Amino acid sequence: MPQETVGFVNLEWTCKRCGSKNPGTTKICSSCGNVMSETDKFELPAQQELIKDEAVIAKAERGPDMSCKYCGARNAADATNCSQCSADLTQATARQSGEVLGAFSDEKKPDVKCPYCGELNPATALKCSKCAGTLRVATRPVDQAKTAPPAPARANRVPMFIGIGVAIVAVIVCGLLFFRTTDTSAAVRGVQWQRAIEIMEERPAQHATWRDQIPSGATAGACELKVRSTQDQPAPNSEKICGTPYTIDTGTGAGKVVQDCQYQVKDEWCGYGLVEWTVVDSVVAKGADANPDWPVVNLRVDQREGNRQEAYVVLFSSDGKEYQMSVDDASELVKYVVGSRWKLKVNALGGVVAAEAAK
Ligand SMILES: [Zn+2]
Ligand SMILES: [Zn+2]
Ligand SMILES: [Zn+2]
């Protein structure tokens, strides 16, 4: 998904020695003079604000700061000598960058009360404007939600496994009931057959599809714009849809705010009318003998035959119990002479699985 730059924000870092928060652009703790080390991470500030300082933005775009091999101090990507110890920086290693720090929101945060003098300070302030006391120490505010989606609850998987287990047991039980059979001796009581032929007529029908897929000969109806596809590039009739902006560590003290965007391409979804062959009726013939016939169809000139369906059933009785068995073909029916005796395999649900002529 293409990433768009929304802007840049100032980050912060927490001094390991005294716990004070410091602006990302500074390299030395303003409270105790400790130098920010390679392992000190940049963090999102309580109040995020897009910055306009071109110099900070240009530096963020040049690449992550370099950590001096000798003193550990941060130096700009294009610096040649360490600003702390003057050491040559050609062997220096780049700070880690690219980590997603969290969702971007420039929503105004409430003022912060100084814990020392009670003065209200803007959420962006690191030190009290009245007494210079440190306003935010060490612990991170809890409301800075990371953009990473919450890990799926592991507990949800357990009921799913139980569900699958129950389903498997149910299938096995049904299978046992279906496949375990008992032998029963029975006599043919009769046979039944049914044959049907569908009657079709041309009738108007309503459908809907994309404008370019309306079949020829159809009458186009009303259309509406709907999303047809999603793509990375803009197109005519497309709408840009972007996710929540989030901030990436550039390794320079400034965060790059980006958002992932795609284009929803819209197209016309239209109703259309088409005259098509539709089943309007069916004629049925039934019988209780071994000579099935197709029903007589009297078609009007504007009608035609549709599908044909046929069904054949043999009826058995055994010690007062009735059984039914379907057979596929009309030619099968003649084998089941009324009164003839058969050995049936009957499953637990009372269905006849097989029949064999009794000797
Ligand atoms: Zn400090
Ligand atoms: Zn150095
Ligand atoms: Zn104060």
**What is the Å distance from ligand 1's center to 22 Cα?**
8
**What is the Å distance from ligand 1's center to 89 Cα?**
25
* CB neighbour list of residue 250: distance below 8 Å, 6 or more residues apart: 8, 60, 61, 63, 64, 97, 256
Bridge partners (DSSP) of residue 258 are 5, 246
Report pLDDT for 157: 60
**What is the Å distance from ligand 3's center to 135 Cα?**
8
Cβ atoms of 221 and 270 within 8 Å: the answer is yes
Q: Which ligand is nearest to the CA of 22?
A: 1
**What is the Å distance from ligand 3's center to 136 Cα?**
12
Report pLDDT for 244: 94
Q: Which ligand is nearest to the CA of 118?
A: 3
**What is the Å distance from ligand 3's center to 273 Cα?**
76
Nearest of 47, 53, 60 to residue 105 by alpha carbon: 47
Handedness of CA 108, 111, 115, 117 (dihedral sign): positive
**What is the Å distance from ligand 2's center to 74 Cα?**
8
**What is the Å distance from ligand 3's center to 14 Cα?**
19
Q: pTM for this structure? A: 0.59
Report pLDDT for 142: 40
Report pLDDT for 120: 92
**What is the Å distance from ligand 2's center to 72 Cα?**
6
- The letter for the amino acid at 293 is D
**What is the Å distance from ligand 3's center to 119 Cα?**
5
Per residue of the chain (359 residues), what is the pLDDT tens digit? 789 999 999 999 999 999 999 999 999 999 999 989 888 999 999 889 999 999 999 999 999 999 998 888 899 999 999 988 999 998 888 999 999 999 998 888 889 899 899 999 988 888 899 998 888 665 444 444 444 444 444 555 666 778 888 888 888 877 776 678 889 999 999 999 999 999 999 999 999 999 999 999 899 899 999 999 999 999 988 999 999 999 999 999 999 999 999 999 999 999 999 999 999 999 999 999 999 999 999 999 999 999 999 999 999 999 889 999 999 999 999 999 999 999 999 988 888 989 999 87
Report pLDDT for 348: 86
